[in-house]
Amino acid sequence: MPVTKSVTGASSKQLTRRGPIARLKDRVVGAAAHRRERIRERPVLNTAYRVSVGVVGTVVLAGGIVAIPYPGPGWLIVFTGLAILASEFAWAHHVLQFVKSKYDRFMAWMSRAGLVIQILFGLFTCAVVLATLWLLDALNLVAGWVGIHWEWLASPLF
């Protein structure tokens, strides 16, 4: 039996030794790569595909950036948006690698930092969240639900 290479770079001998999940992944990746090549062959469809990936990736990235200061998966959403963009754009791949390395460095530093620094960072995050909720008039809205109508809760923007 001749040895062939799959789309993922594994030889046919390696594929037979791998588990069913790995073989399924190879098939899915191979099918996706084949489909993408077929799209690339048609210039109008390729342009539409790239524009769609750009729009979807940008929307996800923007949502992630907005969600960063709030509890939840803000950074995960940012990385997902960059990964979507990186699937079609080389610049986004470089930005994704850069941002991931800086994020990892910051998280390593934060874990080594003392308790005082961690508490200060937590307080700063809380202040950012409260300030944006105040500016978006969310504090006034929720206070109104429970009958509190304090003037200082109203946003200066609305």
Residues 6+ apart with CB under 8 A from 149: 143
pLDDT in tens, 99-145: 999 999 999 999 999 999 999 999 998 998 899 889 989 999 999 99
pLDDT in tens, 53-91: 999 999 999 999 988 877 788 889 999 999 999 999 999
The pLDDT of residue 96: 93
Using 50, 70 and 90 to split pLDDT, how confident is the model at 16?
low
Residue whose C-alpha is closest to residue 77's, from 58, 94, 52:
58
Q: Which two tokens stand for residue 95?
A: 């930005």
pTM: 0.64
Tell me the range of 1-15, 24-38, 45-59, 65-79 where mean pLDDT is highest. 45-59
Q: In angstroms, how far apart are the furthest CA atoms of the chain?
A: 80
Under 8 Å between Cβ of 12 and 30: no
Q: Which two tokens stand for residue 122?
A: 């937590």
